[in-house]
Structure 1
Amino acid sequence: MANKRDLKKDINYVLGDIIEEVYVWQLDNPDKDDKAGEAIIDEAITSFDGFMARVNDRKVENASKHFKAIRNDLQKTAEALVKKVNSL
């Protein structure tokens, strides 16, 4: 199993890449409204904060099961955010 540091890096990279894609879209489409993109960025940042709080929780019974659940939730969240970015 990967360690906590790797999980934190994965969260950072995945959500950071999504935010970067929104910024690229905003630069490529300066004439379009930025509110939808900003909402996606805000959602990604909120998700990041929530995932980091869950990773740093030290009061879990089964760490392996806990981190696996976080990875699954990260994948679902990332897929939802990517769909939103693609619909811009």
Structure 2
Amino acid sequence: MASIRNLKKDINYVLGDIIDAVYFSGKMQSEGGKSLVAEILNEFDTLIDKVADKNVENRGAHLKQVRRDFEQKAAVFIEKLNTL
């Protein structure tokens, strides 16, 4: 189960770092910055719920898909941050 713990940590740290980047770049006061942080927090909740879901047929494949979704979303959030 260490991989599940590591996945949760990765989600927490990476999305937290992106939120920190929004705050420390001074873009939090803009409407786009607030919207981006809200979107990141919503996605965080969604990803953690997916990790905690134990009622899936193939848990290993499910968690691999969650990791891929997380990596794609993190890349999208970084792109959005760069365009602010």
Q: Return the TM-score normalized by structure 1.
A: 0.88
**How many residue pairs are counted as aligned between the two chains?**
84
The unaligned stretches of length 5 or more in structure 2 are none
List per-residue Cα deviations over 1:42-80 (Å, max 9, x = no partner). Answer: 000000000010000010111110010001000110010
Q: In 1, distance between residues paired with 2:14 and 2:37?
A: 13
Q: Which amino acid aligns with 1:6?
A: N
Q: Which has the larger radius of gyration?
A: 1
Is 2:41 aligned against 1:45? Answer: yes
Q: How does 1:49-88 map to 2 (within 5 A)?
A: 49-88=45-84
**Structure 1 runs of 4+ with >3 Å offset:** none
Q: In 1, distance between residues paired with 2:12 and 2:65?
A: 17
CA RMSD of the aligned region, Å? 1.8
Q: In 2, distance between residues paired with 1:37 and 1:25?
A: 10
The unaligned stretches of length 5 or more in structure 1 are none
Shift of 1:2: 5.2
Q: Return the TM-score normalized by structure 2.
A: 0.92
